[in-house]
Chain A
Amino acid sequence: MKDTLIVGGLEMENRLIIGTGKFPNYRLMEEAIRRSGAQVVTIALRRIDFDSREENILNYIPKGCILMPNTSGARNADEAVRIARIARAAGCGNWVKIEVITDQRYLMPDNEETIKATRILAREGFAVFPYMNPDLIVAKRLKEAGAAAVMPLGSPIGSNRGLKTREMIKILINEIDLPIIVDAGIGRPSEAAEAMEMGAAAVLVNTAIATARDPVAMAQAFSLGVKAGRQAYLAGLAATKEFAEASSPLTGFLGR
């Protein structure tokens, strides 16, 4: 049976979303996306540099990939809205990942401004994917505001420290009737697998892939981790127990 994630009006079979920053070059990024089978990638909007002839990243994103522009650089809701509108005008669809960040040390998202931006952009017909600090009430507000999914952080952006917010993410998964996509901090395929085992709908990974010694192989490893975790979630994890419980019979032999 096909296990697809329907979100933002589109269908995803591969639940690994790849961020396109920090790759040594676009060619490796392209190969990493291809090898992982990722169907959604995030990109950023920036001022063009007239003095350097940068290549166009869009030429290196495999055809058929869904683009998720982010609002990185936004410090409040208004700036996020402005960036989102520009991204849509660029003709890359109506998905947007909201990032509103003022804290420069930990790059923590501003939940309040994120809710505001989500409300405005959802009304304008965007499929809104807000990056947030996992908090149940905030997630509820994001849903009310019209978010397509909620994207809680596992640990600070680019830190590769894994699912430090595990318990809070579990609460969101249990209580919020929207896809929960774990974003930021996932450093290893095993952590991506764990997020999926918990019932996350997808995970977004960038730094852990892009800055690995072999980004292409690592993208594939993450894809496998996500698939394993997803399958384990669907299969239903067996219960944990305090004491041992034999899997082989211990009695009826050797005269006992």
Chain B
Amino acid sequence: MRITVNGKEEHLPRGMDVEAFLQSKGVRLEEVVVELNREIIAREKWRETIIKENDNLEILHFMGGGK
């Protein structure tokens, strides 16, 4: 199925949860925040949140920033 991740189209199998998806992308789990369809998904809910067709995921992390 087709979803959008950080503004780019991706294809993944049905039934995948957020945590499995992050692991498949090699993301260090403790470093990221996840928004699904503009709603923040708390870390504790990653496993029970199943990604669906046309979902829009944002995977964010901190980086250097100031002035």
Contact = CB atoms under 8 A, between A and B. Distances in A.
**Dominant SS among interface residues on chain A:** mixed
Nearest to B30: A56
Interface string B22-55: 0001111001110100101010000000000000
A3 B48 CA distance: 49
B64 A207 contact: no
Contacts of A184: 67
Given A47-B7, A204-B67, A206-B67, 14 more contacts: A20-B64, A20-B66, A22-B64, A43-B63, A44-B66, A45-B60, A56-B31, A57-B64, A72-B65, A85-B40, A86-B33, A86-B40, A89-B42, A157-B67
B64 A48 contact: no
Contact of A204 (B32, B33, B66): B66
Contacts of B42: 89
Most chain A beta-carbon neighbours within 10 Å: one of B31, B58, B62: B62
Contact of A47 (B40, B59, B66): B59
Contacts of B64: 20-23, 26, 29, 43-44, 57
Nearest to A82: B38
5 contacts: A20-B65, A47-B59, A86-B60, A185-B67, A207-B66
A158 B67 CA distance: 6
Contact of B62 (A45, A50, A210): A45
B67 A47 contact: no
Contacts of B7: 47
Interface centre among B26, B31, B35, B58 (most CB of A within 10 A): B31
Contacts of B31: 48, 56, 58
A69 B63 contact: no
A7 interface: no
